[in-house]
Structure 1
Amino acid sequence: MSLWKCPSCSNMLLLSNKVWACINGHSFDVAKEGYVNLLLAQHKNSKQPGDNKEMVNGRRAFLEQGFYQPLAEAIATIFKQHLLSLKDQTEVNFFDAGCGEGYYMEQVSQFCDQSNSRVSYSGLDISKFAVQKAAKQYPKNHFAVASTFQLPLANTSQDAILQIFAPSSEKEIHRVLKTAGIWITVNPAANHLIEFKQALYDKPVEHKTEQLTPHGFVETERQHLSFGMQLTESKQRENLLMMTPYYWSATAEKKQKLVDNLQQFTTDFDIRVYSRLS
């Protein structure tokens, strides 16, 4: 089985006896949860990069209650439509760049499991805590700890790449995406969780959604998805807050006030699909 690329020498890794190893002798053990850590020490920006355990647990609890289900279904619909164009392809690779605890990838796999293609789902995140959660709960999928700026994947190996609220290197995405592949990105639109801004700032500013098409790609589809949520429990509101940058920028007093008083929330997502230029 060959899935990952060696982060040390860029040769492909082969799995044997729960060890991923390349021809140059670099090896990476499979953790007990089932993932592999391919994040080299020199690529870390801190001792434990990415979301911490508290943030990961909060996000999982929030997402598993289905509050962002419309977003998951929108992404899955896009990928399922793409699968129709690959109907003669028996092996399809779907990759989540910045997969977190694996919720969206799992939702896509459930939505598309009736397709005629055999889809292999894999993802990475720089947070070891997130990947541990993902691998343990979704053992049929493949997970690695790695950076989205150094994707441990072979050139032109992926049919679809998903990227939700995560930074990446467009050069790396272009490198690993097949010529006929698609890149699905999700970012906050103008009024995403505007209630947080209204509570924290005297003059809340809309999020800027205008962005240039990444070099080497063409935009083929764009969707604007917005829906309201009512969070009646304080823990739900706290979990949502932990998923945002406001959790770190707000004082403890302001955070508590938000959790105690807000119940209605607006989601606003900018979904774009890009095709790779050869």
Structure 2
Amino acid sequence: MRTIVCIKQVPSTNEVRLDPETKTIIRDGRQSVTNPFDTYAIEQAVQIKELLGGEVIGLSMGIPSTERLLRDAMSRGVDSSLLLSDRSFAGADTLATSYTLSLGVRSIGDFDLILCGKMAVDGDTAQIGPELAENLGIPHVTDVVELVEVSEEKILCKKATDKGHQILEVDLPALITVVKDINMPRLPSIPGIEFSLNAPFDIRNATDLNADTARIGLSGSPTQVVKTYIPERTRTAVELTGDTESQVKGIMKIIEEVI
């Protein structure tokens, strides 16, 4: 079984910085972590390898320092990684990102299954997985909470819906996005860390991928953000004085004003 797992970097804190001109998120590798939902995709990919054999390949698009996150994934069981990194990829929306990732997948070659996290916590669109599958022309299932059965030809998965769950059988190759309830990600092992330090790692740019420049980065993004801002946070305090009865009346007055 040849499995590809998509890994995205996100800000490590809630203090997201925005480019004042492009209105896109400024990504600083020193302050980034692996997207939490993707950690469950990594674990699921490794579990499939342990069950059926084969290999797991990490795939990401980002700045060069994203290598740190991909090597962390290799310390947890991923066998090799491919980073798509080029200045021309910057500012991409989900459509341009999924196109670029599809080029990365095609450059890897044959595969059986692609796993993605449900969504990225900095964008919350949940669009990359389905758009990537459409670019590749393969079936996909979102919000998978359990892989009931996995074989070389097909998977049987349990999908969360607004009304409960669905059990779906999907022929491979296919793509699924997973939620956090699907497993418990493992910690890196000492042998895993040792392996990750010298594990196979590849970086490819737009030229290597023969990318259509009209479909990548900011220029290839049909989504144009007109205005983005971070709300100002203010805190006020009201001091209540007097005896207990006076303070209680003061609290009740504040509650009435809020309600």
Tell me the TM-score normalised to structure 1 length: 0.32
**Larger relative contact order (C-alpha < 8 A, sep ≥ 6)?**
2
More strand by share: 1
Normalised by the length of structure 2, the TM-score is 0.34
Answer with 1 or 2: which has the greater Rg. Answer: 2
